[in-house]
Every structure is written in structure tokens, then in C-alpha cells.
Chain A
Amino acid sequence: MTDLWGRLRREAAVRAVLLLCALGASAAVLLIAFFVVAEGWPALGALPGARWDPEEGHFGVQAMVWGSLAVTGGALLLAVPAGVGMALFLTEVAPPSLALVVRPLLQSLAGVPSVVYGFVGLQVLVPAIRRALGGPGFSVLAGACVLAVMILPTIAAIAEDALRAVPVAYREGAVALGATQWQVVRRILLPAARSGLITAVVLGLGRALGETMAVMMVTGNVAAPPGSILDPVRTLTGNIAMEMGYAVGRHREALFASGALLLAMVMALNAAARRVGR
């Protein structure tokens, strides 16, 4: 009897601790959102403008929104096919011994600090793009490439989990009906793993949109909408990181407001992707 009571009490204690953890995490998110919005509130009205020129009192972030979307979109275009392809390779094609070598290598990409990616991008990628394709090298393309490598391990790892979760019976059934391996992948695996694959894309997208340091080092940070993928751009995150150090008054408020905008963009994209996934 006493033993049962003890167990119930322990159970209740664990429940309380878990609840506290969950509440703490949600409270942190809400507090951050509240703080960013409160600090940026007075400047929210200035954000829709086309011109960012804090020295002259213009705080329009249109160009930076396009910049963030262009770099993030480019990164997804590169990283989603590559990441899903890698996941398919690891689950369907590679012999287990090879997968055991490839997987840790891929995952170690996630542990490289972003400034290292930025540095390699600055020293290798930017001059290479300038020589091969023209323009200044600092470009949407450079930012997208660096980001693609950064989000690749996230996308590949989650996509792999999603593919592994597809019951083996599905594969066996399809093969028994005479489907080729490509038909199995296209008609059975990808549709069955759809929701997990979309989660992979959403997490990659969130990371890409929020990444700052590496992108700032290779995109050239020109506050104008890009005309081509070889043009330099400035992202919302790069803009905040670059100018926060000196900003006072309205300028500082505008940077907080663009932080709030970024938060809203990530939330909206997440919600949209969840809906598609269902």
C-alpha cells in the first residue's frame, strides 16, 4: 500500500517537473516575442517603405524581406533535393556498411560553427562566383550555397527518419507487384513520408531564414532588391546584426521591428507548411 502511494507521489513529482519545463520553454518564446514587439512597436509603421537609409531617417525593409526570401528560397532549392536524395540513398540504396560511414560525416556538417561556413564562403566561394559568373561575387547565389550546406544535414536527417518510418510491407507489396525501385520511391515512399519530409523542409527553412553570420559574410549586404542571383543582397538578420551595435532611437526601434517581422515570417511559413503537410 505505502509502496503504491510512494510511486504515485513520484509520478506526480515527475509530472510537475515536466510541466514546468514545458511552461518555461513556452514562456521564453512568449517573453521574447513580447519584448521584440514592444521595443519595435513605434517603428512598425516605417517598415513597409522601399528605402533603408538610417542616416537619412528611412527605415523601409522591403529590400531586406526580398533579400531574406531570395537567399532562403535559393538555399531550399539546392538543399531539399540534395537532402531528400541523400536520405533516399542512405535508406534505400547504400549498403549498411557505407551508410555507417556517410551518415556521421553528413551529421558532422551540422556541428560546424556558422562563422566557419561564412569564412570558407568568403575566401573560396565568393571569388569563384566572381570569376566564373561575373558580378562582385557577393551575391544571392553565394548566400544560398552557404545556407544550403548548412541546412543539408537537418533536412537529410529528418527526411531519413521519415523514410524509415514507412512500413516495410509497403515496399514489399510494391516490389511484389513488379514495381522498379524508382517506382517504389516515387509512388510509395515519397507520398507515404510526405508529412515527415515537409517537417524536414520547414526546419531547414526556419534555420535558413534565421541564419545570420555566415550569410552576412558572403551576400555583400546591399540594401536594394536583387535583380539577379548574382546581385548582392542584405537579409533581415544581417541588417539587424550589422547595425545593432550603433543604433539608437528610431533606428534601434526599426531594427527591433524588423526582428518582430522576421519572427512573424517564420511563424507564418511554419503554419503554412504544417497545413500543407496535413
Chain B
Amino acid sequence: MPMRVLAFLTLLLLLTGCGSTPSGLRIAGSTSVQPVAERLAEGYRRAGGSRVIVQGGGSTAGVQAVLSGIAAMGAISRSLTPEESEQGLVSHTIGYDVLTVVVHPENPLAQRGLTLAELRAIFRGDVTDWVQLGGRPGPIHLVTREAGSGSREAFRSLVGPVSPRAIVQNSAGGIRAAVMGNPQAIGYVSLGVARMGGVAALAVDGHRPGEVGYPLVRPLSLVTLGQPRGEAAAFLRYIRSPEARQVLAEEGLVPG
């Protein structure tokens, strides 16, 4: 019951909100984009723009929201499918999220890095001891995110499935803490979190995270139906500004 009531009140607020601020811009979609988009919305407002409302729901929900006209822009953390592009959706990449594989700084493999194939075998649970990779003998402790998390989905699509025996933490901070305290652990976080220190970011296939050629990268984009007009175009222009690029960098994104 409380959920229903809450949902109803939220809807009411949203609907009335729509009526009173006809110039507001609504963005719905990927929960991975949400925190960045919220910070960009704040900056946009401070720079004299109108109010931007950012909602989650996932990439596909964002695409649906744009197609049905509920939101002016959708946020996606994947590429548009051919079918979606055919319906007239245009995607504007705002930056690249760099998925960073982290280990304890004392792990000898922190220097050498791993190949994508090794990473896949480790997280699938086929390689279970560091000695198999030329490291110090000892079991590998996998750390992953919970079902539904954007990072987990990205990791699944870029690397592969994760063993059900992996330890689950429900935040990037939790993964960092687990890896910091355990020389045998390996996990994945976004580059911004990896740079907070205490963990070593691994090179994958010889490329350090953030470098050109690093494979674990996914585009974060905003989509519009047709070419962006009005508020949407202005917001996209703001995202290209030096101030917005600074925000993207702070959130661990590589500007597009």
C-alpha cells in the first residue's frame, strides 16, 4: 500500500510539474548515466539553463520513454540497436565509461596486467589460483556487483559471465574496500572509483584504463527522436563546454 501511494504521489508531482514548467527537460534511462546526468543538470541550471529532470529505469526504458514522448531525451549505456535507429532515434555520446579491473597493490600481476581472455577465464571461475597466471600461489577471490547493476551488466557484455561463487558487494565503494583489504581479490569498478586509491588498476590486453585501445569501455549516450531541438540541443551544447567536460572527468568518464 505505501508503495502504491508513494507512486501515485510521485506521478501526481510529475504531472503537475509538467504543467507548470513547460520548458523543463526530462531525461530518463540508464542508471549508469544517472549520477553524471544529475551533476550535468545541476551545472546546466547554474549556467542559466532550464530545469532538467533526470530519471532512472534502465537504457531500454529510456529508449521507450523517448519513443512514446514521455521524455525528451533517453540515457543509454549501450549502443542503439539497428531497429531503434530505424525508428528515427539519434544518439549523442557524452563520454565513455571506463570499466576498470582492480586488484590489491601488492598483487604481482598489477604490473603485468591481464589479457581479455585471462580475465574472462578468471571471472567465469575456470582459473581459480593466482599461480596459474604466474602470480603468488593462492585462491583468487572474485568480487562482483549485484544483479541489476549497470556495471555488472556492462562487465557481462564486455568480458563475460561471472561465477555464482563470486563475492557480491552492492556498491563500487564496497568492491574497492573488499579489494583493498585482500591481496588475492579481483573486482571491477569505474575508473573514477579506481583512482580514489588503495587498489591497482590493471592493464587489459596491454592498454591501461583510459588509454586509447583499452577494451573495457562503453559509450554513455543521450538519445533524441530526430535531430535535437530547443532545450535538448542547448543541453547537448552545454555538455561540450569545458565546465561540463570537467564534471565528466571527475565522474571517471573519458569525454567523447
Contact = CB atoms under 8 A, between A and B. Distances in A.
Given A31-B1, A246-B31, A246-B148, A137 B164 contact: no
Interface string B166-182: 11111000100110011
A136 B167 contact: yes
Given A127-B182, A222-B166, A243-B148, 11 more contacts: A35-B3, A53-B147, A53-B164, A126-B181, A130-B181, A136-B141, A222-B165, A222-B168, A243-B146, A245-B148, A246-B149
Contacts of A136: 141, 167, 182, 184-185
B146 A138 contact: no
B168 A35 contact: no
A130 B182 contact: yes
Interface in A111-152: 122-123, 126-127, 130, 136-138
Interface residues of A, number: 30
A122 B180 CA distance: 11
A55 interface: yes
B2 interface: yes
Name which of A127, A223, A246 has the most chain B CB atoms within 10 A of its CB: A246
A246 B58 CA distance: 9
Interface string B40-84: 000000000000000000100000000000000000000000000
Nearest to B153: A55
A217 B165 CA distance: 17
A54 B185 contact: no
Contacts of B181: 122-123, 126-127, 130, 137
B170 A222 contact: no
A123 B2 CA distance: 36
Nearest to A51: B164
A220 interface: yes
A221 B168 contact: yes
Contacts of B2: 35
B4 to A, nearest CB: 9
Interface string A210-236: 000000110011111000000010100
Nearest to A134: B139
Contact of B148 (A39, A216, A247): A247
Interface in A225-260: 232, 234, 241-243, 245-247, 251
B167 A220 contact: yes
A223 B165 CA distance: 8
A222 B164 contact: yes
Contacts of A127: 181-182
